[in-house]
Structures are given as structure tokens and as C-alpha cells.
Chains A and B, each alone.
Chain A
Amino acid sequence: MEIETAFHHGAVADDAKPILEMRGIKKHFGNVIALAGVSFDIRPGECHCLLGDNGAGKSTFIKTMSGVHKPTEGEILFEDKPMNFSSPRDAMEAGIATVFQDLAMIPLMSVTRNFFMGREPTKGAGPFKRFDVARANEVCVEEMRNMGINLRGPDQAVGTLSGGERQTVAIARAVYFGAKVLILDEPTSALGVRQTSNVLATIDKVRKQGVGVVFISHNVRHAMAVGDRFTVLNRGKTLGTATRGEITPNELQDLMAGGQEMAQLEGSLGGTI
């Protein structure tokens, strides 16, 4: 399989209008303050990385973005209109698709059946309305090929795909069904080197189609490989957003860890992290 090694980073003008804007998002769970005023935005055709260590509030934040949680305070603007998502379905319909770590894939079912799960194309009318299997197969194989995956056949079970390929199916599915903003929750966390580069290549392809990609990760290298902008979350707060070229991996790493300890640790480990 061919792997694109050069990423052509999104040539997004700095003044491009954000498609999704989150302003001063706060989220409290009882007396726990999970998010203490986070601002974030995503422009079409860019890959905005959201970095943070475990417990930084990444998950809470993307769940707020994708309609799972309602923010306690703050506003969400989608295409300049204030949004109040009451369920993930609302967000999905607006064009915000989230690929969670479990991928919402069923290993025993074929790639096509997974691809169209819940949104099957039909033909015929009334009682003869039926699943248009031929078209579904055709679309699925075509979409997967565009993402660089050659299926053995549309009836190949998802269980036979590698982790990276499954991730790609989930991404391709979200994009096919009209995602304008694609939120990827740690897509590379469980993958090997080769599979990771496949997924990063996929992100690059999706970005070129004008989709705004939110890439959540705690791996700075993966983020640096595709990201156009980087926002670091630490203890429920943003530590600022940096543009590609403005920041080095080491600085990012330090920000994520919240300062000096990391620099010291890294010194003792000989810079291997």
C-alpha cells in the first residue's frame, strides 16, 4: 500500500473564518471543575491539534463539542450561529462528526454494512423499499480506495482490518456523510508506527477536502506531523494556541506537562520521550 510521506499542511489564511468556535467553555460536574473557561476554534481545511496529558480535560471538552455534554457556561458558535446541542445526533446533523476511540464499528459485520450502519441507502418504494446493496458496496469500495485502502471486497468483515484501517473506515464514513468538522479522539494512541502514518495521511487527505479536523492526542510527534495549530489543555484551562512553526516539539511537551518537571525528567532520560 502506498503511503504518502509528505504532508502539505493546510494553507489556510490566518483570517479564514472559523467554522466552529467555542468561547469560554466551563463545565462543572458537581464540585469538580473539569473545564475552567476553554476557548478554541477550528477553520475549514485545517488540522487543529488539542493536546493535553491525562486528566487535562480533553475528553470533557470534545464531548462538549460533539453534543454529549452541555457546557455549564460559555457559547458554541457553528458557522457564526450560536448552537445549543442537546444530543450527539444534533451535532452530527449540523456537521460535527466525532470518531471516538471505540470507533462505533462492529467487527462481525462487513465494511459496507458498517460504513452505512444506521444510514443505509435504499431503492424502491413502500413495502419494496430495500437496502441498495450494490450501490452501497460501490460507494464503500470507492471511498476506501480514496483513503488508500484496497478492500479484498466490500463484504470483508471489519474484524479482519487492522486498527489503522478501522480508524480510516470510521473517518471515511464521517466525511462521506457530510462532516464539516471531524473530531478524532486519540486516533493514533493504540497504533503501530506504520498504521499511525496511514492514519495521519488520512487526516491530511480529509483536511484537503476542506474539512476542519480536531485531532486530540497526547503524542506531540503525531500532532507535529500533521497539525496546523496546536492548543494545549492543562488542568481544565488552555495554555494558549500556537501556529505551526512558532513552537518546537519540546516546548509543546513542556506545556503539556505543565512546566519544568518535564524538562528535568527529560534530561535524566536523555531526551528520549
Chain B
Amino acid sequence: MIVPSRLSKRVRILIFVAALLIIPAIFLPIWTITLVAPQYPQGIKMSIYANKLTEYNPETGMTINTPRLINGLNHYIGMHEIRPNEFKEFRWLPYAILAFSVLALVSAVVGRGLFATLGWILFILFAVFMIGDFYRWLYEYGHNLNPQAAIKIDPYMPPAIGWKQLANFKVISLPGSGSILMFFAAVLGPIILWLESRQKKLS
């Protein structure tokens, strides 16, 4: 597949759409981790945003900015307390997302194939880096356990995606609406390439 140097109007509109799809990730949850247990049948839901964490308890309908309940439960197994101010990512992640949206926007305006392709590759690398970062945090929390904890468990890897049973808790980890939209933006890249190559064959 050869990337055409000048992008068609249709493709530029698609890149513009990608730019729009990225933007909401600044405000929408990127990842959600839900803890379900017999005494929490509706689950306690932690949502990770670009700049904050929230914990939602469907029983009270209350949403708070520190995972108070989850920390309370985790302390039995000696898990390090989840403190939002310990995540440096929250400081720059919104700007990174904004930057990628702007990059897509510029690609759409400039309309150069190489520029757009490079932008897309950068975006994918960024996504891979963020997933890696998420894995690292999960590993840290699952392995950095206080040896003095009341209940001793073997270090474990919390699920990054999917679900895992841990004692009485089922931990369900799923992408949030923000990252689903970013996923669609990323998928637009190959679609564009396919569309362009077909266009070329036809002409």
C-alpha cells in the first residue's frame, strides 16, 4: 500500500472526524474497574479519567473523587492506597489527548499523506505506551503489598481488561467510553488507507 501524497476531500473529512472522536476522551472515562461482591451486588465502580479518578457507589448514588470504599476494602490485603495525586499522568494526559486531536486536525487541513500517516503512527505508539503504563500501575498495586496486612495473599496481577475473581470480589476491568471513541479514531487510519488504495486502483 502506498500512501498518496495528496489526500482526497473524503479522507480529510474522515481525519477531521478522528480529531473530533479523540476530544471527548478529555472528559469521558478512559477505563473502568468494577468490584462486585456478595455484599456489593451492584458493584463499586472506579472510573479512570484523563485527569482524575472517581468512585461511584450505586447504592448511595454518590460519586467521589477518591476511591474511599475501594481503599477501605483493599487495606485488608495490604494494597497500597490509591491516591489520585500520586498519578503524574493526570497532569499531562488531557494535554496529550488534546495534542493528538490538534494533530489530526492539522493533518486534515494540511492534507498531506505522510504527515497524516506519521501522526497516526505516533497516536498508536501513544496508545501502546498508555496501555503499558496502565499495566505497570496494576502490577504495582497487585505486587506492592504491605507484609503486615491482616489478610496475606500472594501477589497477583489485576486484570487490565476482562475479569478476575479475587477472594470474594470479582474485578471487572473494561475500557471506558473515552477510550472506545479513541479506538474508533485509531481504526479510521487503516480504513483511510484502504479507501485511498482502492480509489487509486479505480482511477
A binds B: no
Residues of B within 8 A of A (CB): none
